[in-house]
Chain A
C-alpha cells in the first residue's frame, strides 16, 4: 500500500513539474515573442523617422539649397579626343566598349553640322 502511495505521489509530482515546466516555457516563449515584437516595433519607428528625414532632405528645394551651399561649380572638363557617338554597333564591339557620360553627348550637339567649319 505504501509503495503504491509513494508511486502515485511521485507520478503526480513528476506530472506537475512537467506541466509547470511546459507552462514556464510557454510563458518564456510568449515573453520572447513580445520582446522581439517590441524590438521590431522600435526598429520600425526608427526606420520611419529616418525615412522622414530622407524625405525632407531629398525634396527638390532641399537638394538645391545643398548644391548652392557647395559653392559655384564648373562643368566637367572634357577630353575632346575621347569624344564620339555611341551606336548599337559600338556597343556590340566589346574591345571598344567604354562609358561616356551623357554630358559628353550633350557637348557634341553644339558642334557644327557635318561639313561645317569648326
Chain B
C-alpha cells in the first residue's frame, strides 16, 4: 500500500507538489507558532539573563509647561518663568587635557576655576575607583547656575566631549526688590513656598504634557501614536491688587522715615476701601546704632540703676538676611498695640448706641483723673472739659475712658470683635496673625479702660485698615467693612460686599470728626516740613502712640514707643486708606517730645497719601471746577 502510494504520487506531479506545499505550509505554521510563543514568553516571562537588556518599547518625553505669571494691578510683570540653560559635565566622558578644558568651562560659566576643577576632577577620580570596582559611573556634575545669554553663547561654542547644556525652568522675580516677602518664593519644583507664590499656587500651577513615542532597539524614535502627544497647559496668570508704583512710593517714604525718625522699623499698608484691594504693603527694618538685644538680667540692672538702654524691639529675623522673600511680613504676621488709633472704633461704638452725642460736653478733669477703681489717667492736652467730638480730635484718654464707661463689658467686647479684631482678615497670605483680644469672661474694668485707649489689644496693620475702611466707604456701604483682597478685582467685579459694623450715618459722622485731626496734621506738617510739596488733599484720620512691649517678656518698656497714624483721603470721596506704623522712634525725637504718631508717622502718611492720590489722578480738593475755569477763560 505504501509502495503504491509513493508510486502514484511520483506518477502525479501535481499531487506531489500539493503534498510538498502542504508540508512546507505546516512547517511554516509550526515555525510561526514557535516564534509567536517565544515572543509571548519574552514579553510575559523573560529569562533572568535577558531581563537587564530588556527596555520599554515606548519612551516618554515630558513636556514641561510653564508656571503662571504674577503681575501687578497694571499688568507689570513681578514674577515669571522662563527657560534657562545650565552647563553640566559627564565625568565618564571628560578626558585630558583637563586644565585647558576646565579653564574654558570656568570662563563660560563665570565660575571660579579652582571650584570648577575641584567639582569635576573629584568626580573623575571617583569614577576611576568605581570603574575598578565595577560599579556604575557618575554621569552628571552641574557647574554654576543658569547661564546668562552671553555665557550661553560661549558655552554652546565649547565643543568639549562630555560637556553639555541642560534646559531648566527659571522663576525670575523682577518685582522682588519692591515686593519682598509679599511676593514669596517657589521651590526647586516650582511649587509655591511663601507669599503670593504660595497663596495662588493652585491657579499658577501648570499641567505638564508628554509625548510617547515608539522606538527601536537602539532607542531611536520610530513614530508617535495618534494619541501619544498630550500638550502641556500653562498655569494661569495672577493679577495682584498691588500697584508697583504705589509700592515704590511707600517704600521710598518708609526708608526716609527710618532715617528721619532714627526708627527700628516702619510698616505701611495702602488699601482701596471700596474694593478692599491692597494697593501697597511695605515693611522695612533696620538695627539702630547702639540698640541691644533684650536681656532680662540686664533689664533688671538697668531698671534699678536708671541707665538708659535702647532695646531692639523687633524680633530678630534671620531669614530676612538670607533672602528678602523669606522675611517676615510684619504687616500681616506681627501685631502691635494701636494706642489712640483705636479710639475712633470705640468712639463710634458709643455714638452708635446713642450713649453720647458729638456736642455733649465731657468733663476731662484738667488732664488728670483717677478712675473709680483707682487707675490714674492723664491727657496730653490738659482741658477742664471738651465736647465728645473734641475728645476724639484731642485724643483725650480721660474723655474716652468716661465715654466708654457707658458701655457694658459685653457691649464693648462685642464692638471690638465686630470690627474684626482678634481674628485673621482672611486675605489669604500665609502666616497671618489673628491679633489678640481679651475674651469676654476675662474682660475687667482695667481691660475696659485700656481698650478704650488702644492698649490690651494687639492688631495687625491690615486689621486696622480693614476696620477703618468702615469710615471711608460711602453711600449704602458706609459703615461696612470690605473683604480684603491681594488679587486684583476682576473687571466689573463685585464691590458691594461687606460686613456692616456701624450705621452709615455714624460712620460718616466719625469721618467728619476725624477730619479735624487731619486738618491739624496738615497744618503742623507745613511747619515741620516747609520744603515738602504742599498737601492739597483733605485727610481724616487718627494718630496713636503706644509704649512698646518688652520683647519676649510681659509688660512695657518705659521709654520706647510704637507710633502710628491711620487715615483716609480725600475726605469727601475717599479713594485710599493708609496706615503707617513707626517702630521705636529714636532717643533724639523722644528727648524733643517729637516721638508721637502725629510727628513721626503723620508726615510720612501725608507724603504717601499725596503722592499716591496724584499718581491715581485724583483731583486735588482745591482744584477749580469746570464752571470757574470756563469763566476764567471767558474773562480773557
Instruction: Report the separation of the CA atoms of residues A109 and B619 in the bound assembly, to the nearest whole angstrom.
Output: 11
Known: A33-B229, A58-B76, A85-B626. A114 touches B632 (CB 8 A): yes
Whether B629 pairs with A51 at a CB distance below 8 angstroms is no
Bound-complex Cα distance A112 to B615 (A)? 25
Q: Is A113 an interface residue (CB 8 A)?
A: yes
- Cα distance A51–B632 in the bound complex, in angstroms: 48
Q: Which B residue's beta carbon lies closest to that of A102?
A: B617
A12 to B301, CA, bound (A): 106
Check B76–A55 contact: CB distance below 8 A. Answer: yes
Residues 20-56 of A at the B interface (beta carbon under 8 Å)? 26-27, 30, 33-34, 37, 41, 44-45, 48-49, 51-52, 54-56
| Interface residues of chain B: helix, strand, loop or mixed (majority) | mixed
Query: Which interface residue of B82, B177, B178, B245 has the most chain A CB atoms within 10 A?
Result: B82
User: Are A49 and B177 in contact, with the CB atoms below 8 A?
Assistant: no
Asked if residues B630 and A85 are in contact (CB atoms below 8 Å), the reply is yes
Interchain CA distance A27-B231 in the complex, whole Å: 19
Contacts of B229 in A (CB 8 A): 33-34, 37
- Docked-complex contact B80 and A55, CB < 8 angstroms: yes
Interface centre among A54, A60, A84 (most CB of B within 10 A): A60
Q: Does residue B628 face the partner (Cβ distance < 8 Å to A)? A: yes
Q: Is the CB of A85 within 8 A of B223?
A: no
Asked if B175 CB lies within 8 Å of chain A CBs, one says yes
Q: Is B174 an interface residue (CB 8 A)?
A: yes
Complex contacts, B245 vs chain A, CB 8 Å: 60
CA distance A109 to B536 in the complex (A): 12
Q: Which residues of A contact B623 (CB under 8 A)?
A: 109
Min CB distance B186 to A, Å, is 15
- Cβ contacts under 8 Å, B626 to chain A: 85, 87
Whether B80 pairs with A87 at a CB distance below 8 angstroms is no
Contact (Cβ within 8 A) A54 B77: yes
In the complex, the answer to whether A55 meets B628 with C-beta atoms within 8 Å is no
Near B by CB (< 8 A), chain A positions 87-116 give 87, 108-109, 111, 113-115
| Chief secondary structure at chain A's binding surface | helix
Contact: B174 with A56, CB < 8 Å?
Answer: yes
Contact A55 B78 (CB under 8 A): yes
C-alpha spacing A48/B81, complex, angstroms: 7
Tell me the residues in window 235-252 of chain B with beta carbons closer than 8 Å to chain A beta carbons. 244-245, 248
Q: Are B83 and A34 within 8 A (Cβ)?
A: no
Counting chain A residues whose Cβ lies within 8 A of the other chain, the interface size class is 20 to 34
Residues B629 and A108 in contact, CB atoms below 8 Å apart:
yes
Contact in complex: B628, A52 (CB < 8 Å): no
Q: Which residues of A contact B635 (CB under 8 A)?
A: 114-115
In this assembly, does B287 line the interface, its C-beta being within 8 Å of a C-beta of chain A?
A: no
A44 to B244 alpha-carbon distance, docked (Å): 26
Interface size class of B (residues with CB under 8 A): 20 to 34
Hey, what's the 0/1 contact readout for B617-636 against A, CB within 8 Å counting as 1? 00010011010111111010
Residues of B within 8 A of A55 (CB): 76-78, 80, 172, 174-175
Q: How far is the CB of A55 from chain B (nearest CB, A)?
A: 3
Which residues of chain B come closer than 8 Å to A30, judged between CB atoms?
223-224
Measured between C-beta atoms, what is the minimum distance from B244 to chain A in Å?
A: 6
Check B223–A51 contact: CB distance below 8 A: no
**How long is the Cα–Cα vector from A25 to B69 in the complex, in angstroms?**
40
Instruction: Specify which chain A residues have a CB less than 8 angstroms from the CB of B223 in the assembled complex.
Output: 26-27, 30
Partner of B80, one of A51, A83, A109, A115: A51
Chain B 222-234 interface 0/1 with A at a Cβ cutoff of 8 Å (1 = within): 0110000101000
- Contact (Cβ within 8 A) B82 A49: yes
State which residues 77-129 of B face A: CB under 8 Å: 77-78, 80-83
Chain A residue nearest in CB terms to B211 = A34
Contacts of A84 in B (CB 8 A): 633
Does A61 make an interface contact (CB < 8 A)? yes
The 8 Å CB contact of A52, one of B172, B224, B629, is B172
Contact of A59 among B63, B69, B178, B620 (CB under 8 A): B178
B66 partner residues in chain A, CB cutoff 8 A: 44, 48
Instruction: Kindly state the separation between the CA atoms of A27 and B213 in the bound complex, as whole angstroms.
Output: 11
Using CB atoms, name the residue of chain A closest to B223.
A27
**What's the Cα separation between A94 and B18 when bound, in Å?**
102
Q: How far is the CB of B256 from chain A (nearest CB, A)?
A: 16
**Bound: A52/B223 CA distance, A:** 36
Contacting residues, chain A, for B620 (C-beta < 8 A): 109
A56 contacts which chain B residues (CB < 8 A)?
Answer: 172, 174
B632 touches A59 (CB 8 A): no
Q: Which residue of B lies closest to A26 (CB)?
A: B223
A115 to B177, CA, bound (A): 51
Query: In the complex, what distance in Å separates the CA atom of A53 from the CA atom of B248?
Result: 20
Name the CB-closest residue of A to B71: A55
Residues of A within 8 A of B224 (CB): 30, 33-34
User: Complex Cα distance A114/B631, Å?
Assistant: 7
Cross-chain contact of A87 among B81, B211, B244, B630 (Cβ < 8 A): B630
Alpha-carbon separation in the docked complex, A61 to B174 (Å): 10
Cβ of B536 to closest chain A Cβ, rounded Å:
10
Closest 7 pairs (CB-CB, A-B)? A55-B77, A48-B82, A85-B629, A45-B83, A55-B174, A60-B248, A114-B631
Give 20 A-B pairs besides A34-B229, A48-B81, A115-B635 with Cβ atoms closer than 8 angstroms: A26-B223, A30-B223, A30-B224, A33-B229, A34-B211, A41-B63, A45-B83, A48-B66, A48-B83, A59-B175, A60-B245, A60-B248, A85-B626, A85-B630, A85-B633, A87-B626, A87-B630, A108-B624, A109-B620, A113-B628
16 pairs from A and B in contact (CB 8 Å cutoff) = A30-B224, A33-B229, A49-B83, A51-B77, A52-B82, A55-B77, A55-B174, A56-B172, A59-B174, A60-B244, A61-B248, A84-B633, A85-B626, A109-B620, A113-B628, A113-B632
